C-alpha cells in the first residue's frame, strides 16, 4: 500500500500513465446539482490563498506507473476530465485572445485527455465509445445507449456554457487552480487490500449510493471471513456479479437503491426493512457467511434482471399498473412473481391483475392507515400461488375494513369524487368497458385531458343555463350541491378544447356537442341517461343517479377480489 501526495497536474502528467474504471464499478451518475457544487467549489477557491484539496483517489496497481484501476473516486475523476475538456474548448474558442499567447493547448490535451494512443481515463467498458467520441475526440453528437452516456454529454455542455460566461482571465485562473489542486493517491496491489481500503473509505461518510456501500461491505466481509487462499477469488466473485448488476442498471428506469429496498423487503424483512443495517443484522446471524453473501448477491442479480424484464414486459394488466402509477409497496410482489413464474406470461398477468386491484383500492381510499402492515405477512408468505394470494389479500383487506369491499363501495359513492386522484384512471377504464374492442389506456389519449361536469359548477356570473336541476332562481338546491354536483355520475372525460367550447351552455347544446364529437363513448352515451321535459332533453338528479349506478357497478365488478 503506497500513499502519494500530488497535484492534478502530477496525477495526469505522464505519457504512459492511464486510469481505468473497472466494470464492476457504477457508471457515471453525477447530475446538474453535483456539477454546480463542483464548479462553485473551484470558483470559491480562487478567492483564497490556500491550496484546493481534491480528496483521496483509491487505485489498484495493474502495472506500476502505467496502468491503474480506480477503486474509489471514479465520479470525481470522470467529472474532472469532462471539465478539463470543456475548459480547453472554451480556451480554444478564444485562441486569438492575446492573454492566451503562451498557452499551449495541444500540450494540455496530451496531459489530460490523450497522448498519442494513450487515453488518460477509461470509463466503464460499455461507456467507452461514447466517452471517446464526446470527450476524447470532442464530438458533439452520439447515439446514447445508457443514462450515464447522456450524463457525460450533458456535463460537457453544462461546463462549457458556464465557463463561456467567464472572462479569459478567470478561465485561466481556474485552469491554474485546477492544475495545482492537491490530492492523495492510495495505490494498492491486490483485491484484498482494495476491499479493505474501500470499506474504510466508505465508513468516512462519503456520499455513496446504498448499492455501492453494500458492494464494499460484502467485499470487506469476504476479506474477513474467507480462507486466505480463497480471498481473492471470493472478492473477484463479488466484483463480477456487481459488474453484471451495473450493466443491468443502465437499462433500467427504476433507480438502483429503490430496487435494493424492494428486494430486501421481498426476501429479508418484509416492509419493515428500512436501511442496510437491517440487512447487516440478518447477515450477522448466519453461520456460513461466505455462502450467505454468495446466495444473496446471486438473488440480487436475479432481481435486477427481473426488473428489466418487467419494464420490457407487455400485457394488459401491466399497462394498467403503470397507468395507475405503481406504488413502492407493489414492487416486492412483482420481484417475487418473476422469481416464481419465470416466463409464464399468463401467470404474471394474473398476478398483475391482483396487484392492480389492491393498488387501485389503496389509491381510491387513500387512508392514513398503513396498508403495508396488513400485507406484510402475505408478502413474506407468497411463494407463487396467485389464487392463494388473492384469497389472503381479500380476507386481510376486508378484515382491515379500510380497503375492503364495503369501504371501496363507500368511496365509489362519495359525494365528492371530483377530487379523487384515481378519477381519470377510473373513467378511462370505464371507457374501455364501453368500447366494443376497447381502448388501450396506455396508448390512447385526448388532448389536454380534463374532467367535465355535465351539470356545470357555479359559473362566474352565477347564472346556470336551462336543462339542469335548478330552481326558479336558476340555482341548485343544497342536496344537489353536496351529493350530485361532484359525484361520479356527473363527471366525464373530455378534451380541454371541447370543454372550453361548451362551458356552461344549456344542456341541449351540450348534448348536441357530445353527439357531434363523440371522441369517447362515455360522451355519446349521455343521451341514453338524459330525460325529456317540454320536448327538450334535461340532465337532472334522476339521470345522474342512473349513470352513477352504472359506473359504480362497473367499478365494483372491475376491482373486486
pLDDT of residue 196: 59
Rounded CA gap, 358 and 404, in Å? 10
pLDDT of residue 350: 96
pLDDT of residue 437: 53
User: What's the whole-number mean pLDDT along residues 163-179?
Assistant: 93
CB-based contact 235:192 (threshold 8 Å): yes
What single-letter DSSP state applies at residue 176?
H
User: What's the whole-number mean pLDDT along residues 261-284?
Assistant: 95
CA distances (Å), origin 156, targets 110, 121, 138, 389: 19, 15, 10, 50
3-state secondary structure of 355: helix
User: What's the whole-number mean pLDDT along residues 518-530?
Assistant: 89
pLDDT of residue 436: 66
pLDDT at 49 > cutoff 80: no
User: What's the whole-number mean pLDDT along residues 302-315?
Assistant: 96
CA angle 442, 446, 451 (to 5 degrees): 105
3-state secondary structure of 362: helix
Q: Who wins on pLDDT, 499 or 199?
A: 499
Q: What is the CA radius of gyration of the chain?
A: 31
- Residue 223, C-alpha cell as written in the block: 476479506
pLDDT of residue 379: 96
Rounded CA gap, 480 and 495, in Å? 25
CB-based contact 441:320 (threshold 8 Å): yes
pLDDT tens by residue, 333-350:
999 999 999 889 999 999
pTM for the model stands at 0.79
User: What's the whole-number mean pLDDT along residues 494-506?
Assistant: 88
Amino acid at each position: 500500500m503506497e500513499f502519494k501526495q500530488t497535484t492534478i497536474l502530477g496525477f495526469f502528467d505522464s505519457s504512459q500513465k492511464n486510469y481505468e474504471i473497472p466494470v464492476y464499478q457504477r457508471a457515471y451518475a453525477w447530475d446538474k446539482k453535483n456539477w454546480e457544487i463542483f464548479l462553485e467549489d473551484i470558483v470559491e477557491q480562487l478567492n483564497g490563498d490556500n491550496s484546493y484539496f481534491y480528496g483521496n483517489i483509491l487505485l489498484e496497481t495493474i502495472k506500476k506507473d502505467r496502468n491503474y484501476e480506480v477503486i474509489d473516486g471514479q465520479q470525481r475523476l470522470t467529472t474532472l476530465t469532462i471539465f478539463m475538456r470543456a475548459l480547453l474548448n472554451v480556451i480554444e474558442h478564444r485562441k486569438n485572445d492575446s492573454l492566451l499567447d503562451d498557452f499551449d493547448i495541444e500540450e494540455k490535451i496530451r496531459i489530460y485527455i490523450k497522448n498519442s494512443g494513450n487515453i488518460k481515463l477509461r470509463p466503464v467498458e460499455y461507456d467507452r465509445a461514447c466517452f471517446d467520441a464526446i470527450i476524447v475526440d470532442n464530438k458533439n453528437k452520439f447515439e446514447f445507449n445508457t443514462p450515464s452516456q447522456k450524463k457525460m454529454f450533458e456535463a460537457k455542455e453544462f461546463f462549457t456554457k458556464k465557463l463561456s460566461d467567464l472572462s479569459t482571465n478567470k478561465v485561466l485562473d481556474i485552469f491554474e487552480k485546477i492544475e495545482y489542486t492537491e490530492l492523495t493517491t492510495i495505490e494498492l496491489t491486490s483485491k484484498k487490500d482494495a476491499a479493505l481500503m474501500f470499506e474504510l473509505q466508505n465508513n468516512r461518510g462519503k456520499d455513496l449510493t446504498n448499492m455501492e456501500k453494500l458492494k464494499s461491505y460484502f467485499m470487506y466481509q469476504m476479506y474477513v471471513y474467507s480462507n486466505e487462499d480463497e480471498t481473492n477469488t471470493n472478492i473477484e466473485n463479488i466484483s463480477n456479479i456487481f459488474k453484471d448488476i451495473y450493466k443491468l442498471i443502465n437499462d433500467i428506469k427504476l433507480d438502483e437503491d429503490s430496487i435494493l429496498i424492494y428486494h430486501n423487503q421481498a426476501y429479508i424483512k418484509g416492509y419493515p426493512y428500512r436501511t442496510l443495517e437491517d440487512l447487516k443484522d440478518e447477515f450477522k446471524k448466519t453461520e456460513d457467511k461466505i455462502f450467505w453473501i454468495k446466495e444473496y448477491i446471486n438473488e440480487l442479480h436475479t432481481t435486477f434482471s427481473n426488473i428489466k424484464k418487467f419494464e420490457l414486459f407487455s400485457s394488459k394488466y401491466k399497462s394498467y399498473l403503470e397507468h395507475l402509477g405503481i406504488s413502492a409497496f407493489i414492487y416486492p410482489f412483482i420481484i417475487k412473481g418473476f422469481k416464481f413464474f419465470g416466463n409464464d406470461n399468463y401467470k404474471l398477468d394474473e398476478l398483475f391483475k391482483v396487484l392492480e386491484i389492491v393498488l387501485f383500492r389503496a389509491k381510491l381510499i387513500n387512508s392514513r392507515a398503513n396498508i403495508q402492515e396488513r400485507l406484510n405477512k402475505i408478502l413474506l408468505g407468497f411463494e407463487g400461488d396467485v389464487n392463494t394470494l388473492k384469497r389472503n389479500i381479500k380476507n386481510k383487506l376486508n378484515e382491515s375494513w379500510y380497503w375492503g369491499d364495503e369501504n371501496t363501495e363507500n368511496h365509489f359513492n362519495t359525494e365528492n369524487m371530483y377530487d379523487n386522484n384515481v378519477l381519470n384512471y377510473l373513467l378511462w377504464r370505464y371507457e374501455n368497458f364501453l368500447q366494443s374492442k376497447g381502448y388501450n389506456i396506455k396508448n390512447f389519449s385526448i388532448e389536454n385531458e380534463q374532467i367535465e361536469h355535465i351539470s356545470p359548477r357555479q359559473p362566474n356570473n352565477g347564472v346556470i343555463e336551462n336543462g339542469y336541476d335548478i330552481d326558479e332562481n336558476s340555482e341548485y338546491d343544497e342536496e344537489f350541491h353536496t351529493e350530485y354536483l361532484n359525484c361520479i355520475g356527473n363527471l366525464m372525460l373530455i378534451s380541454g378544447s371541447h370543454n372550453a367550447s361548451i362551458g356552461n351552455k344549456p344542456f341541449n347544446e351540450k348534448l348536441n356537442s357530445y353527439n357531434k364529437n363523440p371522441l369517447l363513448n362515455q360522451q355519446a352515451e349521455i343521451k341514453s341517461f338524459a330525460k325529456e321535459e317540454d320536448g327538450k332533453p334535461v340532465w337532472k338528479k334522476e339521470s345522474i343517479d342512473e349513470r352513477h349506478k352504472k359506473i359504480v357497478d362497473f367499478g365494483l365488478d372491475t376491482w373486486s377480489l
